[in-house]
Amino acid sequence: MRFLVTGTAGFIGFHVANRLLDEGHEVVGLDGFTDYYDVTLKERRESLLRARNGYFGERVMLEDFSRLEAIWREQQFDVVIHLAGQAGVRYSLENPRTYIDSNVTGTFNLLELARARPVRHFMLASTSSVYGANEKIPFCETDHADHPMTLYAATKKATELMSHSYAHLFNIPVTAFRFFTIYGPWGRPDMAFFKFTRSILNGDPIDVYNNGDMRRDFTYIGDLVEAIWRLQSLAPPLPLDRPQTGNSGDTVSPQAPWRVVNIGGGSPVALMDFIGAIEKACGRKANCNFMPMQPGDVPQTFASADLLMELTGYKPSTTLQSGISEFVAWYRDYYGI
């Protein structure tokens, strides 16, 4: 099959594209190479993909509809895995417009193209941030997610709603998946696990927000990729094609071939234990600079993995220490430490 994957020079897109190529598929990768973080890292990921048979990369911004349309017109895609977008909770306080341009307009452009030339399955990256400060745990896909704490979360929830309307109006099978704090080799330098590792190895202090009183449902990149791989073959059925009985916990829409699925292990970890895992892998202690909670942050994320398990027979299982050790080993190798 031929997959369109957006964000292939990014952390998650790079790993997903590699998995699809490993499985023998063709991948057309799109990326805008924005300078939100070190472009050199993006260039390195892309160069590794370009060296592989079956990969074709295009440098394009998702806001550029005419370029996207030209690419779409030249190809026939079976599945779209839309991973590109402006990420980062705190950065949305500094540069909110880029979230509208990239996440909302970019996703709209892709949905319009899928409307014109339908695909077998349109997969859309969302985030656990849509749950906001929900106090009910674990976070379940059927919970209300109507009170975003940041514009980043608001744009991701908007793309979920947009994709549902397109699924309903034009019978485009859509799966939106909500990520829970992804980490691992080739990660983003703006993320905590990357910044903590860099600072600990350099002997610099690390900023620890909410005085360390936070918990996150960390998900190793390999587990995320496995879940996406399994979900891509499970396009939601049209309402008329569904059996009369089924899983009452499924989020498949009664009006459209659309569902939303958490991708997380359901095992939140205290922030200080997370830092401890990095210290162990680095062989050095952290110098912690304890800080108050930052605007837009939430004290805890906790995924229900029940639906993912029901649909795929799989849920993330990589231990934190194992995953962190893999990242630190990659970091040392990449930066020659």
- Residues annotated catalytic, as ranges: 152
d(CA 192, CA 83): 20
Burial of 220 (0-12, 13-18, 19+ CB in 10 A): buried
Give me 273's structure tokens.
């234990």
Q: What angle do CA 233, 72, 26 make, to 5 degrees?
A: 45
Question: Residues near 116 by Cβ (< 8 Å), separated by ≥ 6?
Answer: 72
Pairing verdict, β 219-220 and 182-183? parallel
Q: How far is CA 284 from CA 275, 289, 331, 332, 333, in A?
A: 11, 16, 15, 14, 17
Give me 137's structure tokens.
């745990």
User: Which stretches of 60-188 are assigned E, i.e. beta strand?
Assistant: 79-82, 121-127, 174-179, 182-183
**DSSP 8-state assignment for residue 245:** S
Q: How far is CA 154 from CA 129, 304, 305, 319, in A?
A: 9, 21, 23, 31
* 96 and 147 Cβ atoms separated by less than 8 Å: no
The dihedral built from the CA positions of residue 102, 257, 120 and 184, taken in this order, carries a sign that is positive
